[in-house]
Amino acid sequence: MTAGISDEGLIAAIARLIPPARHVAIGAASPIPTAAAHLAREMSGNLRVASLYQRRGNPFTDGTGELFDLAAQGRIDLFFLGGGEIDGAGNINLIGTGDWPGRTVRFPGSFGSAFMYMTVPRTILFRKEHSRRVLVPRVAHISAPGTSPPGVFRRGHADALVTGRAVFHFDPARARFTLTSVHPGESEKSIRAETGFDYDVADPLRETPEATDEERRILRRRPAA
């Protein structure tokens, strides 16, 4: 359990954000977003899932080159990104903290995060840890920018930020998040205390529902051989 919501509830919360996407891609080391994408596919019956995390679910034969080609062609609707740091303007940091190139703490590296963030129409930011260490006023280094200056080609932005405590939606025109739901056991006050950046609050602010019996049944079902 994380902050009052089960992992199945967290998976279901992400899955509900995926429609109306038709093609979702997930990078490496993303088991919760991967499970959410497969759950959304089972629930809708009309979703293509390309997962680099699973050998069986990975349709690419040329590494990530094909993934980037599809994104550049506008053929991926939704992607997932995380960050060692995420700030209130939607910027993510996968480099590290301290003097360049992250001499205090080193993160795994940016790889194609900036490219995917700017070419895929919708991105869901996901980080299970929700703390002021992760959700900061301003990232130490920008791996992928949340917004871009006028005249810079950009097809997409963050659509939402999901953590182990809450769900936020992002307005790229204002470069600002809105808290839309808190997970069971959390409140507006507890989220504010653990979030380093400022944000708006939806009215009404709702509680994130747990996974339904049907969603749990799908998630616990043994996959076909």
Please state, in angstroms and rounded to a whole number, the distance separating the CA atoms of residues 33 and 138: 25
Reported in sequence order, the residue ranges of the chain that DSSP labels E, i.e. its strands, are 23-26, 48-51, 78-81, 85-87, 92-93, 96-97, 105-106, 122-127, 135-136, 157-163, 166-171, 176-182, 200-207
pTM: 0.93
Please state, in angstroms and rounded to a whole number, the distance separating the CA atoms of residues 186 and 3: 7
Q: Reply yes or no on whether the pLDDT at 84 is more than 80.
A: yes
DSSP β-bridge partners for residue 162: 126, 167
Question: What confidence score (pLDDT) does residue 53 get?
Answer: 62
Q: Reply yes or no on whether the pLDDT at 225 is more than 50.
A: no
In terms of phi and psi (left: phi > 0; alpha: psi -120 to 50; beta: otherwise), the region of 21 is beta
The domain ranges of the chain are 7-220
Question: What confidence score (pLDDT) does residue 1 get?
Answer: 39
Q: CATH: 3.40.1080.10, 3.30.930.10, 3.40.50.300, 3.10.20.30. Which one for 7-220?
A: 3.40.1080.10
Residue-wise pLDDT for 96-150, tens only, equals 999 887 789 988 888 889 999 999 999 999 999 999 999 999 999 999 999 999 9
Residue-wise pLDDT for 22-48, tens only, equals 999 998 768 999 999 999 999 988 899
Q: Reply yes or no on whether the pLDDT at 221 is more than 50.
A: yes
